[in-house]
Amino acid sequence: MSVIKKSKGELTLDFFTEKEYISHPLIREKAIERRAYQVSISATALLRNTLVVLPTGLGKTVIALYVIASRLLNYGGKALFLAPTKPLVEQHAEFLRKNLKIDADEIITLSGEIGPEKRAELYGMARIIVSTPQVIENDIIAGRLSLEDVVHITFDEAHRAVGNYSYVFIAKHYLETAKNPLILGITASPGSDIERIKEVVENLGIEEVEVRTEFDPDVKPYIHEKEIVWIKVDIPDELKDVREKFQKALEIRLKRLEKLGINVSYNTKRELLAIQESLQMMAMESKDPETFEAISLMAEVMKIVHGIELIETQGLDALKNYLKRLVKESKSKGGSKASRNLVSDPIFREVMFKAMKCTIDHPKLEKIKEVLKGLKDDMRAIVFCTYRDTAEVLVKELNRLENIRAARFVGQSSRIDDKGMRQKEQIEVVEKFRKGEFNVLVATSVGEEGLDIPATDLVIFYEAVPSEIRAIQRKGRTGRFRKGKIIVLIAKGTRDEAYYWSSLRKERLMYEQIYRVKEWLRSKATAEYKRPEESKEVVIYVDSREMKSGVVKELFKHAEIKIRNLEAADYVLSDRVGVERKTAEDFIDSITSADRNIFNQLLELKKSYQKPILIIEGELYGRIHPNAIRGAIAAIAVDLSIPIIQTKNEIETAEILLAIARREQKLLSREVAVHSGKTKMDLKEQQEYIVSSISNIGPVIARNLLKHFKTIERIATADVDELVKVPKVGVKTAKKIREILTTPYED
């Protein structure tokens, strides 16, 4: 199967599969295993801006590799690979250096730690730039980086392309300024909110969505079984007592809010944040003192709710550390009013003292120890937890077990009494985990997105998370290369239970919404496609023998069709693009029958058109041995350098033809001209054909010359001064015309 790229009307073979590996001039031999779903998705991603939704561990980065290699091979220029975190940036860069036949120095990684002048220098030497988006956004604004010659951008974790995130600015600027843009967005989980998914799609200029689940037939062979176990624990009475004290402090503030006319009903922190944001907007408009009082009370509510969550889902160590920071914040100059109010409130102070005196551990800690005692020497496990305090406690406790070598993996930002991990430290920890120096990684959310850790046998959720995005990313850490196990710890009667069922419901809804967005994109494209002002917007020359096909009927709805007896093509889409269409049955006949030699047909097509294309319509394999078909495709692609596009049916063939014609004629302003001496052209067409065949002369300039000089003879005898008077004819073009028409022919 061949995979084709298309951009602004130009289609070129990018790679073809051979045996079990992908073969491509820029991809190292036997480096990338051939997977049918990756090839299929890549084909789409090379034709149009595409969002790929694929479970973690199934090779989204491999698809990006295919696209990057193909674009660089066929267009030159540069490629951008953007990822939200520095560890991901390093990981992707290493993957590209390992698998691409590109000088390692031409694949650069960028971060804000590199000075602006140095970054400007690196841009000049790089072919592939792997970076966090904030750096690229800043350098675009500062004029240090132009995207004009960037032929491709991959947006990793594309679901982040909402609001003011840097992805949004970069994508918009890229589509506006690049000569030949193509975007690929990759994500395991774009979320279950259809409006959010649409926002991502529109912000990235997405034209097609490719989605696969672990249950799709072309994905199933690469999926290993995942066992999911839910372990429920009971909250000890002592912790319940502490929680009850927090609830009383919370109820006091909720009643005060109610007196101010604010009824606070919530299930998640996100809902509380929405209420807080609404109050802040009201305060800006009304300047009402009571609204400002409500905002302050809401801040206290948020802090108490956070404390309750720590009691229920994390344990006392996390709660105590949080309360210590709260006291420290209340005493600092920049501390919040809410912190000061809480710490000075006698009722809340009693709550804090009660919590600090409590000594019992959360039962989740003992359960994790119990589970990990059985971890074998060659196994790896990741424990996900939401809070750094919990991660610290878990690492300390787990390292007391004889068979466990645990390490903490957290983000870079530092907070009060909580130092983050530098990028170098993060990379070192991941590498040691990969090698087995650590066999347990205790990670916060930084470990959820894109972390490439092979052979992770066990994933433990220390707490359930309400986000389907985070839940999917966590679960995707196991079952990549062998059977995996997922354990979810749930504290009975707490928000753990609500969060768990919420994430499952949202995950199911997510796939439903993705397919709805796919249909929305298609209907949107169709609506735009059928607007009256855009109908009959392109001209397509069609060979008379194609009149029997349904393709022409589909084309007729949207294009001006000119029927001709074409000898070297079935469809002519511009002065340089000629297309030969074969049904799968015709293609097989043409490679098995001596009377219908396809290679002779394609040689004539190649002689007549600068950009020849072969379209094969329908299912190819089945009638003859696959190797015979692959051999023919390989010969056409490699020996003749003719790109091949496979389509499902006549409708898809027509859509491809229209897309190419639209790009050629509208975006590139190319005219349609039949290039074959054997075709029957009228006198005017023959005159335009002869003049347009001169080097650097296209149909537009050819017509301008003929309108000015009236005859070809007068064009041939005109000097440079006369020629430059013609619109669009410069001195260079005029000299070229004189050189071609006056230089003696040498045998």
Task: Point out the domain boundary residue: 331, 357, 383.
Answer: 357
**Is residue 32 a contact partner of residue 101, using CB atoms and an 8 Å limit?**
no
Residues of the chain with pLDDT under 50: 1-19, 529-535, 677-679
- The vertex-664 CA angle with 710 and 653, nearest 5°, equals 125
Say how far apart CA 116 and CA 571 lie, in whole Å. 51
Residue 692 lies in a domain: yes
Residue 512 lies in a domain: no
**Is residue 323 a contact partner of residue 352, using CB atoms and an 8 Å limit?**
yes
Residue 267 confidence (pLDDT): 61
Residue 415 confidence (pLDDT): 66
Residues 316 and 427 in one domain: no
pTM: 0.57
Residue 588 lies in a domain: yes
Residues 483 and 539 in one domain: no
- The domain in which residue 572 lies consists of 533-662
Residues 289 and 377 in one domain: no
Residue 439 lies in a domain: yes
Closest CA to 657 of 3, 11, 2: 11
Greatest distance between any 2 Cα atoms in the chain = 106
Assigned token pair, 420: 């983050």
Residues 12 and 144 in one domain: yes
Cα separation values, 734 from 182, 437, 694, 712, 721, Å: 35, 71, 11, 14, 8
Residue 318 lies in a domain: yes
Cα separation values, 589 from 585, 594, 603, 617, Å: 6, 9, 18, 13
What are the start-end ranges of the H helices in 314-336?
A: 316-331
In angstroms, the first-to-last Cα distance of the chain is: 43
Residue 527 confidence (pLDDT): 59
**Residue 726: CATH number of its domain:** 1.10.150.20
**Residue 320: CATH number of its domain:** 1.20.1320.20
Residues 428 and 544 in one domain: no
Half-sphere exposure of 129 (CA within 13 A, CB side): 28
**Is residue 322 a contact partner of residue 307, using CB atoms and an 8 Å limit?**
yes
Residues 71 and 204 in one domain: yes
Residue 11 confidence (pLDDT): 41
Residue 508 lies in a domain: no
Which three-class secondary structure state does DSSP give residue 386?
coil
Residues 118 and 175 in one domain: yes
Residue 187 lies in a domain: yes
Residues 141 and 64 in one domain: yes
Residues 452 and 377 in one domain: yes
**Residue 600: CATH number of its domain:** 3.40.50.10130
Number of H helices, E strands in the chain: 28, 22
Say how far apart CA 150 and CA 79 lie, in whole Å. 5
**Residue 172: CATH number of its domain:** 3.40.50.300
How many domains in the chain?
Answer: 5
Residue 676 lies in a domain: no
Residues 80 and 117 in one domain: yes
Task: Point out the domain boundary residue: 337, 357, 377.
Answer: 357
pLDDT in tens, 114-146: 888 888 888 988 999 999 998 998 888 877 899
Residues 488 and 613 in one domain: no
pLDDT in tens, 149-197: 999 999 999 999 998 899 998 999 999 899 999 999 999 888 778 889 9
Please name the amino acid found at residue 300: E
Task: Point out the domain boundary residue: 322, 357, 392.
Answer: 357
Say how far apart CA 509 and CA 191 lie, in whole Å. 9
Closest CA to 160 of 150, 169, 152: 169
Residues 67 and 116 in one domain: yes
